[in-house]
């Protein structure tokens, strides 16, 4: 079965540093998402991306966050200046051209630890 791939699986960084989380969505999917899950908390929506632009973003997704699809396969989330509260598991997800709720595939996540 096709899968969403995320790298790295773990990322440790110092507060104030920039991090880039990488995702390779399923090849024929056109809708891409980032979610995060703080330890013990619920999965929270960050941003959706379609046709090379942001479709929707949550209030968590402030100016410190950005997303990019630099080529035909990668989808990245950049945090410019990390804060302690950015520590979380970050999930990338993708879906096909059909309605969102038909099938959303999640990657295994990147565990980000900000020290």
Contacting positions for another protein (CB under 8 A): 4, 31, 33, 35, 41-45, 48, 50, 55-56, 58, 91, 93, 97-109
Nearer to another protein, 24 or 104 (CB): 104
Q: Is the peptide bond before 28 cis (omega within 30 degrees of 0)?
A: no
Nearer to another protein, 75 or 107 (CB): 107
Q: Pick the closest to residue 81 from 68, 66, 64 (CA basis).
A: 64
Tracing tokens 């980032």 back to the chain, one arrives at 34
CB of 107 to another protein, least distance (A): 5
Helix (H) or strand (E) holding 10: strand 10-13
DSSP state of 28: T
CB of 83 to another protein, least distance (A): 22
CB of 71 to another protein, least distance (A): 21
């Amino acid at each position: 079965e096709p899968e969403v791939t995320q790298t790295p699986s773990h990322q440790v960084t110092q507060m104030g540093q920039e991090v880039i989380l990488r995702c390779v969505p399923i090849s024929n999917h056109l809708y891409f998402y980032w979610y995060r899950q703080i330890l013990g908390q619920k999965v929270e929506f960050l941003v959706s991306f379609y046709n090379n632009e942001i479709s929707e973003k949550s209030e968590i997704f402030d100016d410190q966050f950005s997303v990019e699809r630099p080529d035909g396969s990668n989808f990245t989330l950049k945090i410019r200046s990390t804060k302690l509260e950015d520590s979380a598991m970050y999930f990338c997800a993708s879906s096909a051209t059909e309605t969102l709720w038909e099938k959303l595939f999640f990657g295994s996540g990147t565990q980000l630890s900000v020290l």
